[in-house]
Amino acid sequence: YGRYEPVVGGPSLPSADPAEVASRVPQSFTWCRPNGHTEWTDGRVHHQGFTTTLSPNGKLILANSSNLCPAGAAIDCSSQQEGTSATISTVAVITSRSYHSGIGNSALVDGSVRSMANSIDLRVWRALGTRQGGEVATLD
């Protein structure tokens, strides 16, 4: 999620740079719904998870209005619903959010929950979002 990890035998994926990820998302899209982030029961990655492209509570701002979303709205985006294509990779910017001021709570693999500052160093945040990067990140 947080850095470039090539899929063996699959298409190339962008780095975690927001501009590069955004460049892979279609410039015009036909679907936008202000759902209050309530679709987690759908079971898809972009509904249940998040990416570490942006810092906790970071905002991706919609430049142009769409069917139900006004220009200037803070949105999540996905280039397509995952599983739609076997040859085109799905890229997304799904922000970790919280109603807590200045922080976002994150559950770690060991079951602990930590408060992550919105101002966390993006290198650390993205290292926490990888599974095989070999990074060592301390939260103390």
Cβ-based neighbour number of residue 117 at 10 Å: 13
To the nearest 5 percent, what fractions of the chain are helix, strand and coil? 15, 15, 70
Extents of the domains making up the chain: 18-128
Residues 39-56: what's their mean pLDDT?
73
Residue 54 C-alpha from the chain's centroid: 7
**CB of 113 closer than 8 Å to CB of 106:** yes
Mean pLDDT of the chain: 72
Question: Mean of the pLDDT values across residues 35-44?
Answer: 61
Q: Which pLDDT band holds residue 3 (cuts at 50, 70, 90)?
A: very low
* pTM of this structure: 0.66
Asked if residue 89 lies in contact with residue 11, where contact means CB atoms within 8 angstroms, the answer is yes
pLDDT of residue 9: 44
